[in-house]
Amino acid sequence: LVFLCLRPGAGQDVGRSCILVSIAGKNVMLDCGMHMGYNDDRRFPDFSYITQNGRLTDFLDCVIISHFHLDHCGALPYFSEMVGYDGPIYMTHPTKAICPILLEDYRKITVDKKGETNFFTSQMIKDCMKKVVAVHLHQTVQVDEELEIKAYYAGHVLGAAMFQIKVGCESVVYTGDYNMTPDRHLGAAWIDKCRPDLLISESTYATTIRDSKRCRERDFLKKVHETVERGGKVLIPVFALGRAQELCILLETFWERMNLKAPIYFSTGLTEKANHYYKLFITWTNQKIRKTFVQRNMFEFKHIKAFDRAFADNPGPMVVFATPGMLHAGQSLQIFRKWAGNEKNMVIMPGYCVQGTVGHKILSGQRKLEMEGRQILEVKMQVEYMSFSAHADAKGIMQLIRQAEPRNVLLVHGEAKKMEFLKQKIEQEFHVNCYMPANGETTTIFTNPSIPVDISLGLLKRETAIGLLPDAKKPKLMHGTLIMKDNSFRLVSPEQALKELGLAEHQLRFTCRVHIQDPRKEHETVLRVYNHLKGVLKDYSVQHLPDGSITVESILIQATAHSEDQGTKVLLVSWTYQDEELGSYLTSLLKKGLPPSTS
Amino acid sequence: LQQQHEDLSAKKLRLTKPSKSAALHVDLCKATSPADALQYLLQFARKPVEVESVEGVVRILLEHYYKENDASVRLKIASLLGLLSKTAGFSPDCIMDDAINTLQNEKSHQVLAQLLDTLLVIGTKLTENPSVRMRLVEVACKHLTDSSHGVRNKCLQLIGCLGPVEKGVAKEVESQAAKDVQKIIGDHFNDQDPRVRTAAIKAMLQLHERGLKLQQAIYSQACKLLADDYEQVRSAAVQLIWVLSQLYPESIVPIPSSNEEIRLVDDAFGKICHMVSDGSWVVRVQAAKLLGSMQQVSSHFLEQTLDKKLMSDLRRKRTAHERAKELYSSGEFSSGRKWGDDAPKEEIDTGAVNLIESGACGAFVHGLEDEMYEVRIAAVEALCMLAQSSPSFAEKCLDFLVDMFNDEIEEVRLQSIHTMRKISHNITLREDQLDTVLAVLEDSSRDIREALHELLCCTNVSTKEGIHLALVELLKNLTKYPTDRESIWKCLKFLGSRHPTLVLPLVPELLSTHPFFDTPEPDMDDPAYIAVLVLIFNAAKSCPTMPALFSDHTFRHYAYLRDSLSHLVPPLRLPGRKLLSSPVSPSITPHEDPSQQFLHQSLERVYNFQHLDPQGIQELLEFTIRDLQRLGELQSELAGMADFTATYLQCQLLLIKALQEKLWNVAAPLYLKQNALASAAAKQILEETYKMEFMYSGVESRQVVIIHHMRLQAKALQLIVTARTTRGVEPLFGMCEKFLQEVDSFQRCFISELPHMQGSFVDKLLDLMPRLVTSKPSEVVKILQTTLRQSTFLHLPLPEQLHRATANIIEPTGESDNPLRFTSGLVVALDVDATLEHVQDPQGTVKVQVLYPDGQAQIIHPKPADFRNPGPGRHRLITQVYLSHTAWTEPCQIEVRLLLAYNSNRSKASAKIPKSTWNESLEALPQSENGIEGTIPFSKPVKVYIMPKPARR
């Protein structure tokens, strides 16, 4: 059997995630992301790659979206409405709720702000969402008769899930992005010992082992606290979803704990809507939030209020979350310009900044910035960097592999050089094959499928009754007839097989002649043989019949004198094929000859 | 018609009485369907069965069992058999054979399992009988091959509970089947059903608990089970490995895939550490908990648990902890992070990085970062236990513990603070660590803050900056939460006395003295200033050069504080102030303490007063009481003892005075008025005896007898007084009877103590008891009167330790002049904060009483959660009291006080009666025995000014 992993996007590169898996004749597309870096056709995966000219709906059995980040779902409306796909799309409930907001926002920026044409419309997003089937955690969804999928919790962002795709007894687990260490609002990824044939794991931090989250959190809080106590203002540029909520919770609980009074603002926009969904989906959050929501939903922020443009000029300390996260435009930049001149203030960059943005400049220590219109802005405020990443680090990836016990591992969503290191480690620690295909490359993995066979209960009971305790770990020998009919396998007892097939029973007997040198009379020889066998085979019933023959269980032994040489006796040993084992043992025993008689 | 009616009732009586078995038999025979029978059995199971009829019932049940075809009914019968054999007082050996026989022909697996369960019950009741146990184990072994997991499960349970433990005995009674229980159970470690595997491990653990030494060979088997697919198996296996590591810590096991060998306890430690990152949190909690108790593990393994190599892009990175340490050691202050401050430095050899370290690596790092707080708490506890036994580990785990102070769950934070306190003798805090610790002082939870104060009390700080930092943060805390005043002062007291040399250079700055200029005198009522002074004075105690730095007003303030806050300010040897130097030199050890001698001497004197005339006795008693009271005030450690004896003497004094009254000589009716003294005395003695019994901790039974005896005398006095003052005899009958009952119960409770009470009141009374019972009340009274006069004064032996329960209400302070205003009819919450000392079981006994000006009293029972236990013998009550009243015209004061509730049932006297009879006698004994409940006020009342306003319409 063959797994076909083909990636219109993704591969060894952080950006578009889009993976195609063929498993036992079923084709599944995992994620449908876009690349943030491009503004032309390259931003979407090349779907023509999948089917040269056929219809996608005919080729794909289903599409699975792991979480709502645009590099995992950004191309979905393009794919389903513009390229044309009408099959089912699976995602978790929170993803289904939040995904359209982000897509709409993305569309607005591209079409309304940048004025691009040939882009999907709001209606397309809506139509696309109609094709989505929402799934619950650990719910097994039967896509068709053979294909089933199951979602596991992945941490990372609200509603992020890992998916197990199973056809017959072959299975693949796709992790999407996941996080093995819990944070302030989400728990850790978890999977059971499902032993898939293949685990497709992200590997963004393949070569990193991170420090404890607590130190970073404490540093962050301490800095904010100190600044606020000094009477300074804190600006935290964030992207609207994900980390922003984590930081909000962090500050909110800290304010609550320390009884602080300074206001915290959150610049409005799509965040309000998103916060609303966070409130609804608290079952997807971490233990603390789930446990305390009866008293108070943690996302009902007590200290965090909506921001208004006018507040930026208010005197006194405050903390403001503003979008976008890299300080390249919008509200965060406006506020930054207002506050940059005062050394009491502080800006905290909670994530990575792309080169060329204001964020990147100030992080690399630039103190004088050239703004639009040749203005020079002197940055006197403190600049801090605080990374809060929600991807699993190398240890986390290894931990997940340990939990799931896959037979093969495939790394995607990372840089080639880093993945090489991890690959080597995985092969060394777990002794499983590890693959890291490049973009557009196809990987074939051979599995060793087990074939299920139906067995009748009667036969099973009968067979297990023979012998000692059944042992789960050891293979067991069974006697029966295998009937292969209409694509199904059945193991039945021989009698039933004969009956079903309308055949008569034939008996197969083996006979063997053994020559023994014994000058005595026939019946004496028989007696000697009888005594000998009786002495050797203590556990079997050895009988001497009146007609001069010996039976050992169902094996018959007769002795006749050799026609030519009276001193040689011929022993005729005859047994049915069921007693093959005993029969051949007996023959070899007799061939060794009889012990010298004592008399 | 009437005749018939009588007949019926007579019949009814006869039918129901004989036995339950008959009725059951009838019922079961009547049952037409299995469902019916099941119903009858269910009804039957609800009623208890007397011990005598158990066997009969069992026989009937068994009879039906054999007849019954329906498995569910048989199942119920089997479970009933188990239930019945549990009946107290019934010995089930008579039904064991039958129970075993039923197993033979049973086909249903469920019924079989239930029957085995019944056998388990029978077996546990007959544990003393080895042959029975042997037989049951044999039966269990036979059924181990059953195909149902339930049956195998029960068999293993049975073997675990009853398998032979003693080596020697086992050999004699040995039979083939029960040859080696461990091997039989061990064979089922590989069973195909996870439930059976779990049961097998549990059975093994059960054997261990019962004292069987498990074989070391099991260890390798158990290790394989750690990789089981099922969490309950893994969880049990972790336990088993732990047990084995405790049994064979020093034996050597090979490391697979290499030819090295390590100690078993190290190997087990590594394996359990590995389970801290298991997929199931139940296993993680289990593993983290057990780690704490593996103290024999070698130190380099232990230290690995905190190790986590960081890297970024294949380059080695230092952890935040390491960076902090480096910053500190380089002498720089934290300058705020620069971008790239944590930039990775050296390249890492890719081959050397081990991502999944087998063994202990980073186990605690994982455990402390776990998503479930249960795991985190378990990890913190384990850290605590390991750090207590290993100072070097304590030093290393400090960083991690400090990190836990910022956990999102309060319980975890609290736990880690407590842990830190417990290991504080092993550690010294670095400045950066102290900084993090002190940041938590702003926490809004009072528990956290107080735990932190306790922690600071016993921490070692390394630098004077540290002390200064701590002081600044504590003062900040004080301004933010003024209610923490007491706790902060206490904290500073210890901080000062622990670090005198570090405080010394800070003194001029703290007192803001200037070499040339006089600075203004600080406000003496400022809590912050007092806090600073507490720190300095305590440091000055062991640093004689310090007072030289004080300015004049500091000395004045010292004198004032030494008087008003004597528990916080130690006596100082100040130049030119000899008076203030401590009156008791510390060289005298307590046992040769003259005050203790004085106590005993004065008591000795009192007990010999028999020869004196009545006037002399009274005077002597009065003097002694006065002396003792003064002694109690002077010597706090003897206060309990002195008060206790003084109270006792006071009782005696009152009794003597009452008996000296002239009223006894005159005809009764004339003295209605004058007897006030005698009856008041009786009443007071009663009260005092209750105080003596319940307010002191450390009272032993010897004292309890004396106290009860005194109470009995008071009651006798009361009886005599009533007899003299009431007309008519009827009320006296009841009283006399009651009194005699009390004498009787006294005798029963203290029968063992009676020989020590020669010549006492009760001794004489018991001699006269036959006469008393038969005589009229008036005669009884006469006898009592004479015995009371003639009886001797009992010597009160003193226990080793005696402490009086005290309570001190800190909040409300009673100083406020602003009334607490609220709308009448609604409630207002009043915060009450009190410290309790030497109160046993405060949750059950301490109540809050609110007295309104109109005489209305309200008693509030605080919730058990309102009591904290900061140290041995000390409790803290922090609660809210809800007040409400109708409208007043002007504000008025209410009184709040704490009461100690008592109930003579709970007293030590009744506890002496064996438990089993106690239960029964409870019903039989008269009400008087059943508890006099009352309350003793034991705190000074605090006045609170309140003003319920009329509601506005």
Residue A304 Cα distances to A158, A252, A297, A330, angstroms: 20, 7, 14, 20
Give Cα A597 distance to the centre of its chain.
72
Task: Please report where in the chains the tokens 């417990």 appear, as a residue.
Answer: B422
- A207, A257, A384 ranked by CB distance to B311: nearest: A207
Cα angle, residue A534 at apex, residues A529 and A535 outer, rounded to 5°: 100
CA distance B933 to chain A (A): 39
Contact call for residues A444 and A4 (beta carbons, < 8 A): yes
**Between residues 113 and 172 of chain B, which touch chain A (CB distance below 8 Å)?**
145, 147
Using DSSP, state whether A294 is helix, strand or coil.
coil
List the single residue in B with minimal CA-CA distance to A362.
Answer: B339
Per-residue confidence (pLDDT) for residue B907, from 0 to 100: 46
Distance CA B878, CA B812 (A): 11
Per-residue confidence (pLDDT) for residue B234, from 0 to 100: 93
How large is the angle between the packed helices B93-105 and B130-142, nearest 10 degrees?
10
Query: Would the CB atoms of A287 and B373 count as touching at under 8 Å?
Result: yes
Q: Looking at per-residue confidence, does B423 or A269 come out higher?
A: B423
List the single residue in A with minimal CA-CA distance to B145.
Answer: A469
Q: What is the b/e burial string over A137-176, where b = at least 16 CB atoms within 10 angstroms of the residue's CB? A: beeebebeeebbbbbbbbbbbbbbbbbbbbbbebbbbbbb
Considering B231-240, B268-277, B659-668, B722-731, the range whose residues carry the highest mean pLDDT is: B231-240
Mutation test of the interface with chain A: which of B356, B443, B479, choosing the one with the most A Cβ atoms within 10 A?
B356
Please tell me the least confidently modeled range out of A520-534, B30-44, B327-341, B360-374. B327-341
Q: Which amino acid, B255?
A: I
Distance CA A168, CA A147 (A): 7
Query: Would the CB atoms of A399 and B356 count as touching at under 8 Å?
Result: yes
Per-residue confidence (pLDDT) for residue B585, from 0 to 100: 42
According to DSSP, the residues that pair with A62 across neighbouring strands are A28
Per-residue confidence (pLDDT) for residue B331, from 0 to 100: 44
CA distance A452 to chain B (A): 19
Band of residue B12 on the pLDDT scale cut at 50, 70, 90: very low
- A193, A385, A464 ranked by CB distance to B339: nearest: A385
Q: Is the peptide bond before A324 cis (omega within 30 degrees of 0)?
A: yes
Band of residue A568 on the pLDDT scale cut at 50, 70, 90: confident
Per-residue confidence (pLDDT) for residue B35, from 0 to 100: 83
- A188, A287, A398 ranked by CB distance to B356: nearest: A398
**pLDDT surpassing 60 at residue B10:** no
* DSSP single-letter state for residue B644: H
Q: What is the pLDDT of residues B93-113, one digit of tens each?
A: 777 787 788 888 788 888 888
Strand ranges (E), A481-595: 481-485, 488-492, 509-517, 542-544, 550-552, 555-561, 568-576
Strand ranges (E), A295-345: 304-306, 318-322
Residue B402 Cα distances to A132, A210, A215, B414, angstroms: 47, 19, 10, 12
Contact call for residues A422 and B317 (beta carbons, < 8 A): no
Which class is domain A2-209+390-446? Answer: alpha beta
Distance CA B893, CA B815 (A): 11
B69-84 average pLDDT score: 85
What residues of A are in contact with residue B340 (Cβ under 8 Å)? 385
Considering A80-94, B245-259, B320-334, B556-570, the range whose residues carry the highest mean pLDDT is: A80-94
B231-248 average pLDDT score: 92
Percent of chain A with pLDDT over 90: 13
Band of residue A495 on the pLDDT scale cut at 50, 70, 90: confident
Percent of chain B with pLDDT over 70: 81
| Domain boundaries A213-385, corresponding CATH code | 3.40.50.10890
Residue B511 Cα distances to A87, A331, B504, B522, B555, angstroms: 80, 50, 11, 9, 12
Query: Would the CB atoms of B311 and A382 count as touching at under 8 Å?
Result: no
**pLDDT surpassing 60 at residue B911:** no
Mutation test of the interface with chain B: which of A287, A430, A461, choosing the one with the most B Cβ atoms within 10 A?
A287
Task: Please report where in the chains the tokens 């609220």 appear, as a residue.
Answer: B822
List the single residue in A with minimal CA-CA distance to B439.
Answer: A222
Contact call for residues B422 and B384 (beta carbons, < 8 A): yes
A384 is catalytic: no
> Torsions phi, psi of A597, nearest 5?
-70, 150
Q: Looking at per-residue confidence, does A23 or B165 come out higher?
A: A23
A164-174 average pLDDT score: 89
Is B790 in the A-facing interface, judged by CB distances under 8 Å? no
DSSP code per residue over B148-195? -HHHHHHHHHHHHHHS---HHHHHHH--STTS-HHHHHHHGGG-SSHH
Band of residue A4 on the pLDDT scale cut at 50, 70, 90: low
Per-residue confidence (pLDDT) for residue B359, from 0 to 100: 54
- B191, B337, B403 ranked by CB distance to A384: nearest: B337
According to DSSP, the residues that pair with A173 across neighbouring strands are A164, A199
Closest to B401 in 3D by CA, of B428, B378, B383:
B383
Per-residue confidence (pLDDT) for residue B21, from 0 to 100: 60
Q: Is the peptide bond before B344 cis (omega within 30 degrees of 0)?
A: no
List the single residue in B with minimal CA-CA distance to A227.
Answer: B336
Active-site position among A202, A246, A252, A463: A202
Q: What is the pLDDT of residues B678-704, one digit of tens each?
A: 778 888 888 888 888 888 877 787 788
Strand ranges (E), A156-256: 161-167, 170-174, 198-202, 233-237
Per-residue confidence (pLDDT) for residue A152, from 0 to 100: 94
The pLDDT mean for chain A works out to 82
- A211, A212, A288 ranked by CB distance to B409: nearest: A288
Query: Would the CB atoms of A421 and B308 count as touching at under 8 Å?
Result: no
**pLDDT surpassing 60 at residue B735:** yes
Query: Would the CB atoms of B229 and A403 count as touching at under 8 Å?
Result: no
Residue B725: count of CB within 10 angstroms of its CB: 16
A173-181 average pLDDT score: 89
Using DSSP, state whether B850 is helix, strand or coil.
strand
Per-residue confidence (pLDDT) for residue A247, from 0 to 100: 86
- A184, A365, A395 ranked by CB distance to B355: nearest: A395
Q: What is the pLDDT of residues B319-341, one digit of tens each?
A: 666 666 665 555 444 333 344 44
Q: Which amino acid, A16?
A: R
- Of chain B, the end-to-end C-alpha distance in Å amounts to 72
Q: How is chain A split into domains, by residue range? A: 2-209+390-446, 213-385, 453-501, 509-592
A570-577 average pLDDT score: 83
Size of interface A-B (CB pairs under 8 A): 124
Respond yes or no on whether ipTM tops 0.85. Answer: no
CA distance B798 to chain A (A): 51
The number of CA neighbours under 13 Å toward the Cβ of B342 is 23
DSSP code per residue over B477-531? HHHH-GGGHHHHHHHHHHHHHH-HHHHGGGHHHHHT--SSSPPPPPPTT-HHHHH
Distance CA A16, CA B378 (A): 42
What tokens appear for B826 in the block?
């609604």
Band of residue B81 on the pLDDT scale cut at 50, 70, 90: confident
- The pTM of the full predicted model, rounded to 2 decimals, is 0.74
Task: Please report where in the chains the tokens 């009340």 appear, as a residue.
Answer: B777
Q: What is the pLDDT of residues B607-641, one digit of tens each?
A: 776 666 777 778 888 888 888 888 877 777 777 88
Using DSSP, state whether A87 is helix, strand or coil.
coil
Query: Would the CB atoms of A212 and B365 count as touching at under 8 Å?
Result: yes
DSSP code per residue over B744-802? HHHHHHTTTTGGGGTTSHHHHHHHTHHHHHHS-HHHHHHHHHHHHHHPPPPP-PPPS--
Q: Looking at per-residue confidence, does B908 or B366 come out higher?
A: B366
B563-582 average pLDDT score: 68
| Domain boundaries A509-592, corresponding CATH code | 3.30.310
**pLDDT surpassing 60 at residue A359:** yes
The pLDDT mean for chain B works out to 77
What tokens appear for B200 in the block?
């097998």
What tokens appear for B204 in the block?
């093994």
What residues of B are in contact with residue A364 (Cβ under 8 Å)? 339
- B192, B350, B445 ranked by CB distance to A470: nearest: B192
Is B579 in the A-facing interface, judged by CB distances under 8 Å? no
What residues of A are in contact with residue B147 (Cβ under 8 Å)? 464
Residue B33: count of CB within 10 angstroms of its CB: 10
Mutation test of the interface with chain A: which of B408, B412, B479, choosing the one with the most A Cβ atoms within 10 A?
B408
Task: Please enumerate, as own/partner, the contacts of A451-458 that have beta carbons within 8 Å and a separation of 24 or more.
Answer: A451/A169, A451/A489, A452/A169, A452/A489, A453/A482, A453/A489, A453/A490, A453/A491, A454/A488, A454/A489, A454/A490, A454/A491, A455/A480, A455/A490, A455/A491, A455/A492, A456/A490, A456/A491, A456/A492, A456/A493, A456/A496, A458/A493
Distance CA B462, CA B430 (A): 7
CA distance A70 to chain B (A): 25
What residues of B are in contact with residue A184 (Cβ under 8 Å)? 408
